[in-house]
Amino acid sequence: MSAAAPLADARVLGLAHYAARGVLERVLARHGATFQQQIALRAAVTADAPQTADDLVTQVRGSLKADPADIRATLDELLAQQLLVVDGAHLRATDAGRELLAVIGAETAPITARVWGGIPAEDLAAAGRVLALVTQRADAELAALDA
């Protein structure tokens, strides 16, 4: 690492986030999917138990801090695309939804390896601790703003 490396701050974090998200969004666009759709679909696929629409809205909102109405619209899009299906009171991923996530994962895996490869484990651990703390503090600030 260079001695002139920038200190971590909101700008550096944002630049890293948008660079990585830009890569993912290019892959998603090739499959006609949006970032929010991918996050919602992943929440449905990785859940330990069947999820209601409200459960998925809560999970996605926790991740993206997005408006619940926008998240519900995203769930409707996933239902219309038959990537999610209604199963009683729950929404579950279809085989097509699971396949889409698998294809996206396969396409992004080599890119992710190039982006993250070669970063020392101790640097990743330090960055992980800092980012977890920033997330915790920002979540607390959001909660205070919403109170």
Task: Tell me what pLDDT residue 3 has.
Answer: 64
Task: Tell me what pLDDT residue 119 has.
Answer: 96
Structural domain boundaries in the chain: 11-116, 117-147
Q: How far is CA 122 from CA 40, 90, 111, 126, 128, in A?
A: 32, 41, 22, 6, 10
* Mean pLDDT in residue range 4-9: 84
pLDDT over threshold 60, residue 146: yes
- pLDDT tens, position by position, 98-111: 999 999 999 999 99
Share of the chain above pLDDT 70, in %: 98
Interatomic CA distance for residues 23 and 84, integer angstroms: 25
pTM of the model: 0.88
What's CA 34's distance to the chain center, in Å?
11
Fold of 11-116: Arc Repressor Mutant, subunit A (1.10.10)
Interatomic CA distance for residues 94 and 114, integer angstroms: 31
pLDDT over threshold 70, residue 2: no
